[in-house]
């Protein structure tokens, strides 16, 4: 219990006991995590210690940033043993620096799902997961830019990454600043491209943080202590130590904390069959309710149509609280979503003492590699058809709808203008097409540009977040209206979720997401864009369609298959 208390100290945890029945008596996002904090404290007893990198001098370079690769093994168990030995060697022969970060990595000669590995780790917190989207069949504008500049694509990227523990984390209650970004950048290097900080930012950094989002802060990033990387054809297990004597976190402290975490690592990995979870939804409540949502949409439309109003679009979101008959395992749920989400990013962030924030988002905020950066416009929604002919008919309706074209054009042109502020030139290709997902289809376009400076993702984040697709246009006017109308905290819903790396960085938009805790149900988030011509009933139906990927995946228990 001592380690948990120390971890709570580092994260600024303020946990209180609450009536365990309150969650079932009434619904509010707050009641969800008042109980969640207490239950999490009892369940997760092996939270790892680390340092908050935001407290360091971001101007002081680390003594070393390095990756040490060990020889290939044939199984996760062999990789774990090899890492344990390597960590012991590092302890006996420490680098001669007062600060640094060292990654030890062992290739595994078989492909194992990173999410399967994470599911085997028995709820060790903190934990993280990020799975890149498959862009097969779509033009790669970022690679086109790299080719023009004579840059090859030799970097080998993981398909998915899972992590437990925290070698170093970055968290604050104040909005994410340039100094915070430099604090993260201090631990990264293009020579160690797989040392990455995974995490996310709040949608509104200036809004009051509700209790269910407290442990995430205004932003939260972590470099995992133990990380499992899934590649096409093989895998890799890695262990990372980070230290800074100025923060009273020495290499000795870091190694001992890593060794404690390594003792929790399980090499008995079972493959999750991507079936539904065998969970029934007992009740579902929305904030706002349908009765309150219609007037909210009408109020937004009045503002948009008002004389001299600069507002052309606002995105109104909804928080849906579901209670289930049995526990929801957030990692198993995410694995089920991943099954139908090859054209989407999957993510999980769970700091100590917090619910798991999971998502299956189709939308990229940006991907930066060298001097190239790409983003995309994604807006307007229709269901998929029951047949090929019906699907094509729905697609034609989406492409020819004036209301949807207006909503999409606002998003695309706004992103184009934002990219112009940080890029020498911007490419848009195609101008408009349809992006088809498992259950829905959207209007879509790619945008890419040539950055003026390679290493400042803070400028990219500042320019692109929030996009009109999740906020509105103009952004500040839309944000103010959202504050007036919405009665819940979005937290990291619709915020940037992804990773910073020395070689490249990539962020999704945290939509199609949920906050979930075993035994406590979940909060599912969704939003719709309101423009002139929007209809409250149609927008409500769109919200139902968007959360259906979550609710329809809770029917059958996923069976397990052993991985040799």
Q: What is the pLDDT of residues 275-320, one digit of tens each?
A: 667 888 899 999 999 999 999 999 999 999 999 999 999 999 999 9
pLDDT digits 0-9 by tens, 73-127: 999 999 999 999 999 999 999 999 999 999 999 999 999 999 999 999 988 889 9
pLDDT above 70 coverage of the chain, percent:
85
pLDDT digits 0-9 by tens, 515-555: 998 677 899 999 999 999 999 999 999 999 999 889 888 86
Identify the pLDDT of residue 122. 82
Identify the pLDDT of residue 326. 87
Instruction: Give the residue ranges of DSSP H helices in 126-216.
Output: 141-148, 178-185
Identify the pLDDT of residue 43. 42
Cα angle vertex 171, ends 167, 176, to 5°? 130
Question: Which residues have a catalytic role annotated?
Answer: 313, 363
Identify the pLDDT of residue 139. 61
The alpha carbon of 45 is separated from its chain's Cα centroid by a whole number of angstroms, namely 24
Measure the CA–CA gap between 48 and 297, rounded to whole angstroms.
Answer: 45
Identify the pLDDT of residue 137. 55
Identify the pLDDT of residue 46. 44
Place of tokens 């970060």: 101
Measure the CA–CA gap between 95 and 315, rounded to whole angstroms.
Answer: 51
- Which stretches of the chain score pLDDT less than 50? 1-47, 557-561, 564
**Residue 124 near residue 167 (C-beta atoms within 8 A):** no
Quote the tokens at residue 45: 């007893």
Contacts of residue 149, defined as CB under 8 A and 6 or more positions apart, other chains included, come to 370, 371, 372
> Which strands sit side by side in the sheet containing 496-501, from one edge to the other?
51-52, 168-172, 219-223, 196-201, 496-501, 504-509, 364-369, 372-383, 440-451, 423-436
Identify the pLDDT of residue 305. 96
**Using omega within 30 degrees of 0 as the cis cutoff, is the peptide bond preceding 474 cis?**
yes
Measure the CA–CA gap between 123 and 387, rounded to whole angstroms.
Answer: 41
pLDDT above 90 coverage of the chain, percent:
74
pTM: 0.89
- The domain ranges of the chain are 2-128+157-272
> Which H or E run includes 330?
helix 330-339
**Residue 247 near residue 150 (C-beta atoms within 8 A):** no
350-364: burial string, b at 16+ Cβ within 10 Å, e else: bbbbbbbbbbbbbbb
């Amino acid at each position: 219990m001592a380690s948990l208390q120390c971890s709570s100290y580092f994260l600024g945890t303020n946990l209180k006991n609450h009536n365990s029945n309150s969650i079932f008596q009434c619904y509010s996002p707050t009641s969800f995590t008042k109980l969640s904090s207490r239950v999490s404290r009892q369940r997760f007893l092996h939270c790892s210690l680390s340092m908050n990198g935001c407290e360091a001098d971001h101007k002081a370079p680390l003594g070393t940033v390095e990756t040490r690769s060990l020889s290939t093994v044939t199984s996760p168990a062999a990789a774990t043993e090899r890492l344990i030995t390597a960590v012991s060697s590092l302890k006996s022969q420490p680098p001669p620096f007062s600060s640094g970060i060292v990654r030890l990595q062992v290739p595994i000669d078989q492909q194992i799902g990173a999410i399967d590995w994470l599911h085997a780790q028995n709820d060790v917190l903190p934990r993280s997961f990020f799975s890149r989207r498959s862009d097969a069949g779509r033009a790669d504008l970022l690679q086109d830019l790299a080719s023009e500049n004579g840059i090859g694509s030799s970097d080998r990227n993981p398909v998915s990454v899972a992590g437990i523990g925290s070698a170093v984390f970055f968290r604050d209650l104040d909005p994410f600043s340039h100094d915070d970004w430099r604090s993260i950048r201090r631990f990264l290097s293009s020579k160690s491209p797989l040392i990455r900080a995974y995490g996310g930012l709040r949608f509104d950094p200036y809004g009051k943080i509700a209790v269910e989002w407290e442990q995430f802060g205004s932003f939260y990033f972590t470099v995992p202590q133990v990380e499992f990387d899934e590649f096409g054809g093989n895998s890799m297990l890695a262990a990372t130590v980070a230290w800074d004597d100025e923060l009273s976190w020495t290499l000795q402290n870091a190694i001992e904390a890593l060794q404690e975490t390594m003792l929790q690592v399980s090499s008995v990995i079972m493959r999750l069959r991507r079936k539904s979870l065998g969970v029934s939804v007992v009740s579902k409540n929305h904030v706002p309710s349908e009765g309150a949502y219609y007037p909210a949409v009408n109020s937004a439309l009045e503002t948009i149509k008002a004389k001299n109003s600069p507002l052309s679009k606002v995105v109104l979101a909804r928080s849906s609280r579901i209670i289930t008959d049995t526990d929801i395992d957030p990692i198993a749920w995410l694995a089920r979503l991943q099954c139908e989400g090859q054209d989407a990013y999957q993510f999980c962030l769970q700091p100590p003492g917090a619910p798991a924030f999971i998502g299956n988002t189709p939308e990229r905020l940006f991907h930066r590699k060298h001097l190239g950066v790409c983003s995309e416009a994604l807006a307007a929604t229709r269901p998929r058809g029951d047949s090929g002919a019906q699907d094509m008919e729905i697609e034609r309706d989406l492409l020819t709808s004036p209301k949807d074209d207006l909503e999409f054009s606002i998003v695309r042109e706004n992103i184009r203008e934002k990219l112009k502020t940080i890029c020498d030139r911007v490419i848009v290709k195609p101008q408009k097409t349809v992006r088809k997902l498992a259950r829905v289809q959207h209007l879509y376009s790619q945008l890419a540009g040539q950055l003026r400076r390679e290493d400042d993702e803070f400028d990219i984040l500042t320019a692109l977040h929030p996009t009109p697709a999740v906020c509105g246009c103009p952004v500040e006017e839309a944000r103010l209206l959202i504050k007036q109308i919405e009665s819940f905290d979005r937290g990291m819903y619709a915020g940037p979720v992804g990773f910073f790396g020395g070689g490249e960085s990539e962020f999704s938009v945290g939509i199609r997401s949920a906050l979930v805790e075993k035994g406590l149900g979940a909060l599912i988030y969704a939003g719709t864009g309101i423009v002139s011509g929007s209809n409250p009933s149609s927008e409500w139906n769109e919200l139902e369609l968007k959360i259906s990927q979550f609710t329809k995946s809770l029917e059958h228990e996923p069976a397990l298959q052993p991985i040799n």
